[in-house]
């Protein structure tokens, strides 16, 4: 469907689709972040479930508390989603042209891997800023960083903690991006291919809806363990020169040993509730922008 669209347009369409989707579903990201750092390293867990977290945020910080870090999330989507989806789609179209049609699941997964690595690395600085801004309201007032927007967060992190802090959590961020890309985009592409191949639907909105919900479920399961590790590493403080976590494996070990085997999947409910609508908005925006671009540019 996108073989004849220029690569620059694929990146732009992916970026605007991600920005639109995150603007709709960002409050669920805030709840997810708060859940993931709740109870860390033996600290008292704040609340039992996502609904209690959301109610507490609204009660203590107001409705705008659910939108802490939105500017960082929008900038992150412009860089992260634009890159990971643009690379994936460009690589996918390249292989499809070479083979004259549908390609194997293995090659689709390779495209997802490549896109995840590129997008994950590009998106780390804004991801650090977004994570900190979303969680900041959980801290006591005297300990809050109080970034007022994403540019302020990026500048202060660089000035106060050094350039390398902007890339804190790069490994788990890339691991998460790879898991998301392969599970989300490959599942979406494969589900569309099956539905259209068996003449269940054409390349229509119902097809896109079913494929997006299926990809949301699979990607939520795959992305949560590296996502939890990423959140805790980016949020951690360095005390007396010693960081709270040594790396992604250390996070998982401490999580499981102190909080149980299901701890790496903390935030599953808000993430799945968010991934479903966000996936639907994301893919519908993308598919419709592709159709509009092809119509406007007279591309077959």
Q: Among residues of the chain, what percentage have pLDDT more than 70?
A: 95
Per-residue pLDDT band for 243 (boundaries 50, 70, 90) equals confident
H or E element in which residue 238 lies: strand 238-239
Coil, helix or strand for 151? helix
For the segment 186-204, what is each residue's pLDDT rounded down to a tens digit? 999 999 988 888 777 778 8
Is the confidence at residue 115, as pLDDT, over 70? yes
pLDDT of residue 55: 86
| 239 phi, psi to nearest 5 deg | -110, 125
The token duo for 202 is 């054409």
Task: Round the average pLDDT of the chain to a whole number and report it.
Answer: 85
Q: How is the chain split into domains, by residue range? A: 7-296
Q: What is the average per-residue pLDDT within 79-100?
A: 91
Is the confidence at residue 45, as pLDDT, over 60? no
CB 215 within 8 A of CB 183: yes
Name residue, tokens 């599970």.
Answer: 183
| More confidently predicted of 49 and 146 | 146
| More confidently predicted of 270 and 157 | 157
Q: What is the average per-residue pLDDT within 66-81?
A: 85
Q: Among residues of the chain, what percentage have pLDDT more than 90?
A: 33
Q: What is the average per-residue pLDDT within 155-160?
A: 93
pLDDT of residue 39: 59
Is the confidence at residue 284, as pLDDT, over 90? yes
Is the confidence at residue 47, as pLDDT, over 70? no
Q: What is the average per-residue pLDDT within 216-236?
A: 84
Q: How many CB atoms lie within 10 A of CB 144?
A: 13
The token duo for 295 is 């119509």
pLDDT of residue 287: 92
The whole-angstrom separation of Cα 194 and Cα 207 is: 10
Is the confidence at residue 23, as pLDDT, over 90? no
Beta bridge pairs of residue 243: 238
Per-residue pLDDT band for 267 (boundaries 50, 70, 90) equals confident
pLDDT of residue 48: 58
The token duo for 77 is 């989507």
The whole-angstrom separation of Cα 290 and Cα 295 is: 9
Quick one: CA torsion of 98, 203, 222, 227, rounded to 10 degrees?
Answer: 100
Quick one: CA torsion of 65, 25, 2, 91, rounded to 10 degrees?
Answer: 60
Is the confidence at residue 25, as pLDDT, over 90? no
pLDDT of residue 40: 52
pLDDT of residue 42: 47
pLDDT of residue 20: 92
**Span 7-296 CATH architecture:** Alpha/alpha barrel (1.50)
| More confidently predicted of 159 and 227 | 159
Per-residue pLDDT band for 172 (boundaries 50, 70, 90) equals confident
Burial 256-272 (b: 16+ CB within 10 A, else e): eeebeeebbbbbbbbbb
pLDDT of residue 41: 43
| 173 phi, psi to nearest 5 deg | -65, -45
């Amino acid at each position: 469907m996108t073989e004849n669209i220029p690569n620059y347009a694929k990146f732009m369409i992916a970026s605007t689709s991600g920005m639109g989707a995150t603007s709709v579903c960002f409050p669920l990201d805030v709840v997810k972040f708060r859940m993931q750092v709740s109870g860390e390293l033996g600290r008292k867990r704040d609340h039992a479930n996502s609904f209690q977290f959301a109610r507490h945020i609204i009660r203590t910080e107001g409705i705008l508390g659910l939108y802490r870090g939105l500017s960082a999330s929008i900038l992150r989507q412009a860089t992260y989603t634009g890159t990971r989806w643009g690379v994936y789609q460009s690589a996918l179209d390249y292989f499809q042209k070479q083979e004259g049609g549908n390609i194997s699941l293995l090659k689709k997964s390779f495209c997802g891997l490549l896109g995840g690595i590129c997008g994950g690395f590009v998106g780390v600085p804004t991801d650090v800023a977004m994570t900190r801004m979303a969680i900041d309201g959980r801290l006591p007032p005297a300990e809050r960083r109080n970034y007022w927007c994403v540019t302020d967060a990026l500048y202060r992190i660089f000035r106060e903690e050094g350039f390398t802090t902007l890339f804190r959590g790069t490994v788990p961020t890339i691991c998460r991006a790879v898991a998301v890309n392969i599970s989300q985009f490959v599942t979406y592409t494969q589900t569309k291919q099956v539905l259209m191949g068996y003449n269940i639907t054409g390349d229509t909105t119902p097809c896109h809806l079913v494929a997006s919900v299926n990809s949301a479920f699979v990607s939520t399961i795959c992305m949560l363990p590296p996502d939890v590790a990423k959140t805790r590493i980016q949020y951690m403080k360095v005390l007396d020169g010693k960081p709270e976590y040594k790396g992604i494996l250390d996070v998982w070990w401490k999580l499981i040993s102190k909080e149980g085997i299901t701890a790496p999947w903390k935030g599953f409910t808000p993430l799945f509730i968010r991934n479903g609508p966000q996936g639907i908005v994301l893919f519908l925006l993308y598919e419709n922008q592709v159709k509009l671009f092809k119509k406007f540019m007279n591309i077959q």
